[in-house]
Amino acid sequence: MTNRSRIRLFIDQERKWGFPKTFRVGTKIVKSYFFDVPKTIIVEPTSVCNLNCTFCAPSKINLGRKSKFLNYKIFRKMIDDIKKDCWSILFTFCGEPFLNKDIYLMIRYANENGIFTSASSNMTVFKNLKIINNLIDSGLNHLTVSIDGITKKTYELHRVGGNFDLVVGNIRKVVNQKIKKKSITPFLDLQMVVTRQNIDEFAKFSDFAKKVGADGAYLKPLYIDKGMSEDYVKRLEKDLFIERAVTRYLKEGGETKIKKQTPCDFLDKLVISCDGDVFVCCMDYLGKYQFGNIGKENLLDIWRKKKYEKFREEIMKAKKLDICHECVTAISKTLYSK
């Protein structure tokens, strides 16, 4: 999402919220750059997904979550803990966020407390207009639709279990309902993960996004989890990886190797699993590194634990973890944005 688009959304919020609330949000944004508070919180509404995408590692293993779905009361407690400090929440991680029936309540409560909300979705669970209206009425600011193909064949090669026509129809319904409700939110981004299978559709992706009424479109580099089975890694390297500008890797000796180590992107972010556990980053989907639970502790108290602060400064910043070795901050390429 471009800065211009964020500003546009912020102006719309100012019109709806009025000066006092807008001033409070602006203060939180500035505060996040000068004080010890997380800039962005990634929230996992559920670890369950209804698809089995070819490149998705979490869908191939047991994540070990106990609850499967984040409890709304625990989420509200977290918002109450951080509402004076946090300004941005992203609903995503290992499952399809909108499978959690309370997701719309979560988004609404975050927005009521002056928090910018973003979510990602495969858009297959929106079965009727009532659900789509719930999405728009929740106040969600930004929605990324993971589509990975502009034809039925290409889409369903990547999004196993998905229905291309259903997804495209749902995108158009969201666009139409936004128009009827005179709402510019959610800002609707289409995402395509770059693979060998969809390379011929890159050039047409922007036109496709415009045709269905999306607000933006971008390319995202493929991620290959080297901690998975040898069969999984070899299959992705052989069938999906392609050396393009939008990639994390180079091909050396028949293997993929990261182009260049990048600074840790999670020194000012954290992840909350559907169990309420605090994970250090989005690479740690098994929760190997945890520092507390939002149902039992105040999130800011967890963030400011000396042990966690030292971990961020001495371990994460230096990228000393096993999960850091194959981590490169994804540099997406925006093709189109209103």
At 337 the pLDDT is 86
The average pLDDT across 56-74 equals 93
Instruction: Please compute the mean of the pLDDT values over residues 41-51 and round it to a whole number.
Output: 96
Tokens matching residue 98: 């909108």
21: left (phi over 0), alpha (psi -120 to 50) or beta: alpha
- Confidence band of 85 (pLDDT split at 50, 70, 90): confident
Give the chain's mean pLDDT. 89
Average pLDDT of span 227-254: 84
pLDDT tens for residues 121-149?
999 999 999 999 999 999 999 999 999 99
Note the pLDDT of residue 3. 46
Strands 290-293 and 116-121: unpaired
Structure token pair of residue 156: 């369903």
pLDDT, tens digit, 9 for 90 and up, residues 243-286:
876 888 888 877 788 877 788 889 999 999 999 999 999 999 99
Number of Cα atoms under 13 Å in the Cβ half of residue 97:
27
Section 23-45 average pLDDT? 80
Per the structure block, which two tokens stand in for 178?
């936004």
Non-local CB neighbours of 215 within 8 Å, separated by 6+ positions: 5, 187, 188, 189, 337, 338
Is the per-residue pLDDT at 73 higher than 60? yes
Which H/E stretch holds residue 53? none
pLDDT digits (tens, 9 = 90+) for 167-192: 999 999 999 999 999 988 899 999 99
Integer Cα distance of 206 and 334 in angstroms: 9
Beta bridge partners of 43: 91, 272
Residue 289 has pLDDT above 90, yes or no: yes
Are 303 and 39 spatial neighbours (Cβ–Cβ below 8 Å)? no
Helix, strand, or coil (residue 34): helix
3-state helix, strand, coil in the chain (%, to 5): 40, 15, 45
Higher per-residue confidence, 302 vs 256: 302
Band (pLDDT 50/70/90 cuts) for residue 332 is confident
pLDDT value at residue 287: 93
Of the chain, the end-to-end C-alpha distance in Å amounts to 10
pLDDT tens for 95-114 read 999 999 999 999 999 999 98
